[in-house]
Chains A and B, each alone.
Chain A
Amino acid sequence: MAVAEKQITGKLVRISGPMIEAEGMLGATMGEIVRVGKLGLMGEVIRIDNDKIYAQVFEDTSGMFLGEEVSGTGVPLTVELGPGLLASTYDGIQRPLITLKESSGDFISRGLTALALDRNRKWEFTPVAQVGQEVMGGDILGTVPETGAILHKILVPPRVKGRIKTVAPAGEYTVTDTIATLEDGTNLQMMHKSPVKLPRPFFKKLPPNQPFLTRQRVLDMLFPIAKGGSSIVPGGFGSGKTVVEQSLSKHSNAQVIVYVGCGERGNEMAEVLTEFPHLEDPNTGDSLMNRTILVVNTSNMPVAARDASVYTGITLAEYYRDQGYDVALMADSTSRWAEALREISSRLEEMPGEEGYPTYLSERISAFYERAGTVICAGTQKEGEEPRMGSLTAVGAVSPPGGDYSEPVTQTSMRVVGGLWALDASLAYRRHYPSVNWNRSYSLYFDGLRHWFEENAPAGWISRRQQALSLLQREAELQEVVQLVGPDALQDTERLILEVARLVRDVFLQQSAYSKNDASCHLDKCFGIMELILTFHEEAEKAVRREIPLSRISSLPLKEEVARTKEEPNEGFVEKKDALLERIKLELGALEAK
């Protein structure tokens, strides 16, 4: 960029927590990164008043003197994109935490710089583009096997266009070696930089019609979202948001996971770092860490970097989407990000909106979730050639104060996302996990996915799903009656509904994230359990109509047998289910009134 040639320097005139003011900065641009003070702390310009700038600083500002120097860098906050991102752990401004540990020990000190991508590591590059080819941003120059399962596609950076003059031959290169040149003299490397606050370009957005399978029964069957969709997971503390986000990271059918720990616990990150390298990627069998990028800004790390961390995370996710992968972004928790916005806003003395949040909160949240989507990737579109498609699914945890959903972050997010997985503390108290409240949750993607389920899921999926939802609804109504007049007032068929609904809740809806066989549930098993429960209901209802007392039906060991099926592995589940299905029909059919 041309502006960078003349460096702007000014003087610090105010320090207020994570915000500073500096004078003599005429020429600085909004969003530009500045270096603050002797330590050279990174900050971002968020307001300009003549020659005075206001900047949020991504590191702790204490101990600084007024009058210290502030200098512009001429560039906005960017991330480095190239091979070597997967399996890395970054902080909010993409500094690799391992490198920080090497330079400053177990505690993070200030003013450190570290390059996101290793400049010395050599990667095996195979060219794809050819000399003389016209290329544009998003076209593939070549490939690099980044991890066992992910073939990294080296892309022409966005907004670059031209005819290729030279391409490097296959061989080993570092991320900064030139691997192609254009006729206008542009040198292209395996690495390029991308500003985080601008969405990366794509060719076209498509309606989402492939499911984002989470391997969680309650989500896949009742409230499925699509690849390229967005969903929020709100819940009070202890309702299990983090366990849900981590389960999705482990078991979902995305190819690349970007996990943003924004203002959350350090020990949780330690757990992920200890656990993930030893787990298997469900798609490829490779180590789970090899499909994961962690962006970590724990709650005690500087507050302004929380804002950076969600944008860093989503830009990394978009980069893999542009290569044609299905990417999932987990943001835990978006409320902490919103709180960071609130804190900076109040230091700027802006007029507050609801609950002190800035009035642009909803603009920021909507813009963030709108970066999700299924797209035809940027690049030259060729007639008769299958376009390269990629998707970015965004799942954001929300931490409403006091578990009250009427607060601004939950409400604003609900207006833009297509899925609501509402977690319920009262279910969590009963150790009903995942504590997804079936009466409050919804998914707007189901209609778009109907066709996929008809084609690919076990036959009867759609109708069994509807039956399950109706049954749970009916139970809620009956429970109200019971609360008023006691269970005696109900008829046997109604009591049967209560019993079966309890099976649905205990067996189908609950799923242990810690059980070997139950943590990840495939469609066959998911459907199978529901089919067993509903068949039990149908056959039992017939028996009740033959005037067989409910107590006799309940005392059969069948109910327990159904309950036990969730301990069975995914493999071979269908056979076991079919056998039990026969027994249900036979044994309940054979009951005779005395």
Chain B
Amino acid sequence: MATSTADMLHKEYWDLTYISGPLIFLKNGERFPTGAILNVHMPSGEVRQGQVLEATKSHAVIQMLQGTVGLDVEGTSVSLKDTAARVACTEDMIGRRFNGTGVPIDGLPPVVPEKEVEIAGSAINPVSRDAPNDFIETGVSAIDGFNTLVRGQKLPIFLGSGLPGNELANMIVQNSGTKGDDTPFVVVFGAMGITARETQYFLRAFEEGGKGSRVVAFINQADDPAIERLFTPRCALTVAEYLAFEKDYQVLVILTDMTNYCEALRQISSAREEIPGRRGYPGYMYTDLSTIYERAGRIRGKKGSITQIPMLAMPDDDITHPIPDLTGYITEGQIVLSRGLNRQGIFPPVDLLPCLSRLMNNGIGKGKTRDDHREWANQLYAAYAQGQNIKKLMAIVGEDALTDLDRKYLHFSNHFEHEMLDQGFARRSIDDTMDLGWKLLGLLPREELTRVNRNTLDRYYVPFGDDGKKTSFGL
């Protein structure tokens, strides 16, 4: 095209032909590049924003950020705002609150950007990546001991509605400062479609924990336009990348709730009449989600890092639902919350068996946590799984049919839930977690502990003294 960008900025076009759901169609597709941000001037004088999704000779498809109510084909005009969606980046954003597209909502003046960066981002060259290997102590036994979080990792929390996922996320934020490390720490919080109650919870919790001034928040609330949700995580991650890789911060990104993001994606897809994939979600949802999750990591030669904790509500507690399913295929593990444990009053109610941290091995062992960590975790996992199996068996055949050994496993597994998993809001150091684990293993006979090397057993294993009827270890 001969027209330069500068010319196009001033031109208004009266091309609107078709409006459907969140989309509008323009007659001529040759005027704007795909991805461009347009100003849409409504008859009422209001100006909204839209983004070019697709361009053909005969038409262009625009998704409207603030919805299409009030638009008409006659009195509405469009003009180019920017050739791509961008967000302002500066260190002054730390401590500030923005809406889902980066407009301040804390009553303070707009930030003076050091630079404006395209929110779409580019893929990190895989050879530039540094393998994540620094242990992050979250103070939560179920994570530190069994599903260790490592700097540069993306580890989602899968929760069911009504489960205390926000509280767990807050606990991680409060505790995972970088100890013994002088690189500064900052939290980037991206919220998509969360309720005012949740927004208030997070903001208050960050303040009360003294982390308020370390948080950059992008908040799209449940009553904000749904299409904005597609921009929120990308704005958050663009600022996170700027802080991590240009300003050397250790950045923890919390994204909640990814389910709302995916619904917005589905909304656009169905408005475009695309062939739906599973449960109506678009076939490219995996690719789309990966452009969010893959923005976690570390880069060789850079001090900063991006660790991501996306949170998502599993519809009907179903882990095979497309949203948790595709997320699990991209992220490096998952933390799953359990309704059963929650009802027993155990906090955090982490359902240990389906949890996983793929990068755990990089973050544990000598010099990081303790050299017996791997075996310890394997053994506790195996024993707890065995205990859970026996619990199921007992429900069918009754307690009398169990062998002595079965009872020991059962006993172990009950204590494991009440002593290890249930820790309330108190922070527990990794050493305390591991010592507690060894005490619990003392409930089982030594010859059952085949996941642990003999030398390790000699060093740490102490059989529990009496008949095991004690209910507390006096910790």
Binding site for B on A (CB under 8 A): 13-17, 21, 60-68, 89, 97-98, 100-101, 104-109, 236-238, 242, 261, 263, 265-267, 269-271, 273-275, 296, 298-301, 303, 336, 339, 342-343, 346, 352, 355-356, 399, 401-404, 425, 428-431, 482-488, 506-507, 512, 514, 557, 559-560, 563-564, 567
* Contact of A64 with B126 in the complex, beta carbons under 8 Å: no
Bound: A100/B245 CA distance, A: 19
* Contact of B123 with A300 in the complex, beta carbons under 8 Å: yes
B274: A residues at CB distance < 8 A: 346
Determine if B54 is an interface residue (Cβ-Cβ < 8 Å).
yes
* Contact of B396 with A484 in the complex, beta carbons under 8 Å: yes
Bound: A557/B445 CA distance, A: 12
* Contact of B127 with A557 in the complex, beta carbons under 8 Å: no
Residue from A68, A266, A300, A399 in contact with B329 in the complex, judged by beta carbons closer than 8 Å:
A399
List 24 A–B pairs whose Cβ atoms lie within 8 Å, in order of A's numbering: A14-B29, A60-B120, A65-B1, A66-B57, A97-B127, A98-B127, A101-B125, A105-B128, A106-B128, A107-B121, A108-B122, A237-B329, A238-B333, A263-B286, A266-B129, A270-B129, A270-B130, A346-B275, A346-B283, A401-B278, A429-B353, A429-B354, A482-B393, A483-B393
B353: A residues at CB distance < 8 A: 429-430
Bound: A63/B80 CA distance, A: 13
B332: A residues at CB distance < 8 A: 265, 267
Check A271/B382 contact, CB under 8 A, given A67-B1, A401-B320.
no
Check A336/B131 contact, CB under 8 A, given A266-B294, A431-B378.
no
* Contact of B286 with A101 in the complex, beta carbons under 8 Å: no
A355: B residues at CB distance < 8 A: 277-278
Determine if B397 is an interface residue (Cβ-Cβ < 8 Å).
yes
* Contact of A107 with B127 in the complex, beta carbons under 8 Å: no
* Contact of A62 with B123 in the complex, beta carbons under 8 Å: no
Centre residue among B29, B284, B297, B403 by max chain A CB count within 10 A: B284
Determine if B225 is an interface residue (Cβ-Cβ < 8 Å).
no
Bound: A301/B386 CA distance, A: 42
* Contact of A303 with B284 in the complex, beta carbons under 8 Å: yes
Determine if B401 is an interface residue (Cβ-Cβ < 8 Å).
yes
A61: B residues at CB distance < 8 A: 34
Instruction: Name A61's closest neighbour in chain B (CB-CB).
Output: B34
Say how far A487's CB is from chain B's closest CB, in angstroms.
6
Bound: A488/B396 CA distance, A: 13
Interface size on B, residues (CB 8 A): 82
* Contact of A106 with B125 in the complex, beta carbons under 8 Å: yes
Check A65/B33 contact, CB under 8 A, given A265-B332, A303-B287, A557-B447.
yes
Say how far A320's CB is from chain B's closest CB, in angstroms.
22
Question: What would 19 more interface pairs be, CB under 8 Å, given A63-B33, A108-B122, A343-B283?
Answer: A15-B55, A17-B54, A66-B55, A105-B128, A236-B328, A237-B329, A238-B334, A263-B287, A266-B294, A267-B152, A267-B332, A267-B359, A269-B129, A273-B129, A299-B287, A429-B353, A430-B382, A506-B450, A507-B450
Centre residue among A107, A342, A560 by max chain B CB count within 10 A: A107
* Contact of B286 with A299 in the complex, beta carbons under 8 Å: yes
* Contact of A356 with B34 in the complex, beta carbons under 8 Å: no
A109: B residues at CB distance < 8 A: 122
A488: B residues at CB distance < 8 A: 397, 401
B393: A residues at CB distance < 8 A: 482-483, 486
A15: B residues at CB distance < 8 A: 34, 54-56
B131: A residues at CB distance < 8 A: 267, 270-271, 273-275
Bound: A105/B245 CA distance, A: 12
Bound: A486/B398 CA distance, A: 8
Bound: A100/B300 CA distance, A: 15
Bound: A97/B382 CA distance, A: 41
* Contact of B275 with A238 in the complex, beta carbons under 8 Å: no
Check A273/B56 contact, CB under 8 A, given A15-B34, A65-B30, A237-B328.
no
B299: A residues at CB distance < 8 A: 106
Determine if B374 is an interface residue (Cβ-Cβ < 8 Å).
yes
B385: A residues at CB distance < 8 A: 429-431
Check A67/B30 contact, CB under 8 A, given A267-B132, A339-B286, A401-B322.
yes
* Contact of B129 with A267 in the complex, beta carbons under 8 Å: yes
* Contact of B325 with A401 in the complex, beta carbons under 8 Å: yes
Determine if B413 is an interface residue (Cβ-Cβ < 8 Å).
no
Bound: A431/B357 CA distance, A: 12
Determine if B68 is an interface residue (Cβ-Cβ < 8 Å).
no
Check A560/B450 contact, CB under 8 A, given A65-B33, A238-B333.
yes
Determine if B362 is an interface residue (Cβ-Cβ < 8 Å).
yes
Bound: A276/B334 CA distance, A: 26
Say how far B50's CB is from chain A's closest CB, in angstroms.
15
Bound: A162/B300 CA distance, A: 50
Residue from B57, B333, B401 in contact with A14 in the complex, judged by beta carbons closer than 8 Å:
B57
Bound: A567/B452 CA distance, A: 10
